[in-house]
């Protein structure tokens, strides 16, 4: 087969799902008809290409196939998702729903990148996106995480409209944890209370670096204060911004050291 033509080139126009299989493979015989049925139901939204691993060992080696059936999704010439083993139809459909590219996903990704870059218009674009795609829980989650530091009350309201809460359970928890901290009534009579009060103000004034620095100072003074509020807030903040954020890289180790 001409893999470059049938998969790589074609995937630049439409997603291509490749099923690596072999005639002797029992699980492949189970998976094959299911994924073929799904491809037929897709009405051209994606295409299926089946690759006999025995006859195309060079392709199996090139794409790191260690067990079959192995399914890989190609988009714009690259592998964007994959799974190994014979999954039931509903699990494969869930996988397709999660990873198949769409105009909605691409638009939301572009908005997210603008938010990360600090584009002043990005939040307005996100609001418009949610109006245009009212069923997008992903859009609401991005909105809640983007505004929680400055407007925790509105972030909570946005979270209430998320339908598939189980899917976003951990993300919802960290946003609510951050909102709890920002809305907490903290007595500033003590040293740790003063640090936490200042941290609240820093976050609300769009100064997250001062906010996390003050939280770490509060942890150093009394990490058990108000049922470990300083520690819980710092953890929620780091989870909220992600491991690759520059503030995480700069302050996470300092926070870990403050705990011990």
pLDDT of residue 187: 87
- Based on the domain organization, do 163 and 222 belong to the same domain? no
- Based on the domain organization, do 61 and 80 belong to the same domain? yes
In a domain, 176, yes or no: no
- 111 catalytically annotated: no
Q: Number of structural domains, the chain?
A: 3
Quickly state the pLDDT bin for 249 (edges 50, 70, 90). Answer: very high
- 207 catalytically annotated: no
In a domain, 76, yes or no: yes
- Based on the domain organization, do 62 and 109 belong to the same domain? no
- Based on the domain organization, do 121 and 145 belong to the same domain? yes
199 exposure class (CB count in 10 Å sphere: 0-12, 13-18, 19+)? buried
Question: Mind listing the pLDDT tens digit for each residue in 79-108?
Answer: 999 999 999 999 999 999 989 988 899 899
Asked if the model's pLDDT at residue 260 lies above 90, the reply is no
Domain boundary, last residue among 99, 131, 152 = 99
Domain boundary, last residue among 99, 129, 148 = 99
pLDDT of residue 103: 87
Query: Which H or E element spans position 81?
Result: strand 78-84
Strand order, beta sheet including 70-75: 47-52, 16-21, 70-75, 78-84
In a domain, 177, yes or no: no
From the list 16, 25, 148, 202, the catalytic residue is 25
- Based on the domain organization, do 137 and 195 belong to the same domain? no
- Based on the domain organization, do 13 and 76 belong to the same domain? yes
- Based on the domain organization, do 14 and 93 belong to the same domain? yes
Helix residue ranges, H only, 205-224: 208-222
Domain CATH code at residue 20: 3.40.30.10
- Based on the domain organization, do 121 and 39 belong to the same domain? no
Tell me the residue range of the domain where 233 lies.
184-259
Quickly state the pLDDT bin for 1 (edges 50, 70, 90). Answer: confident
Residue with tokens 């049938």: 6
- Based on the domain organization, do 134 and 204 belong to the same domain? no
In a domain, 195, yes or no: yes
Question: Mind listing the pLDDT tens digit for each residue in 175-203?
Answer: 999 999 999 999 888 999 999 999 999 99
From the list 28, 39, 70, 107, the catalytic residue is 28
In a domain, 107, yes or no: yes
- Based on the domain organization, do 58 and 114 belong to the same domain? no
Question: Mind listing the pLDDT tens digit for each residue in 26-60?
Answer: 999 999 999 999 999 998 999 999 999 999 999 99
pLDDT of residue 114: 95
Cα separation, 16 vs 191, whole angstroms: 59
- Based on the domain organization, do 161 and 214 belong to the same domain? no
In a domain, 178, yes or no: no
Cα separation, 222 vs 242, whole angstroms: 25
pLDDT of residue 165: 93
- Based on the domain organization, do 84 and 163 belong to the same domain? no
pTM for this model (two decimals): 0.75
């Amino acid at each position: 087969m001409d893999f470059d033509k049938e998969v790589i080139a074609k995937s630049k126009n439409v997603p291509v799902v490749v099923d690596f299989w072999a005639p002797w493979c029992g699980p492949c015989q189970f998976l094959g008809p299911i994924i073929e049925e799904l491809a037929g139901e897709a009405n051209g939204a994606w295409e299926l290409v089946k690759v006999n691993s025995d006859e195309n060992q060079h392709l199996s080696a090139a794409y790191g196939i260690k067990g079959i059936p192995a399914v890989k999704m190609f988009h714009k010439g690259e592998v964007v998702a994959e799974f190994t083993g014979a999954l039931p139809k509903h699990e494969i459909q869930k996988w397709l729903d999660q990873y198949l590219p769409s105009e909605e996903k691409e638009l939301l990704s572009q908005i997210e990148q603008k938010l990360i870059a600090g584009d002043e218009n990005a939040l307005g674009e996100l609001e418009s996106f949610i109006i245009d795609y009212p069923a997008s829980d992903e859009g609401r989650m991005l909105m809640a995480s983007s505004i929680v530091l400055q407007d925790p009350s509105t972030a909570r309201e946005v979270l209430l409209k998320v339908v598939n809460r189980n899917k976003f359970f951990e993300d919802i928890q960290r946003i609510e944890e951050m909102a709890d901290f920002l809305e907490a009534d903290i007595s500033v009579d003590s040293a740790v209370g003063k640090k936490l009060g200042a941290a609240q103000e820093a976050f609300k004034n769009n100064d997250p670096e001062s906010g996390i620095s003050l939280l770490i100072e509060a942890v150093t003074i009394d990490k058990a204060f108000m049922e470990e509020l300083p520690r819980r807030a710092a953890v929620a903040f780091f989870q909220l911004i992600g491991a690759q954020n520059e503030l995480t890289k700069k302050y996470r180790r300092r926070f870990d050291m403050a705990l011990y």
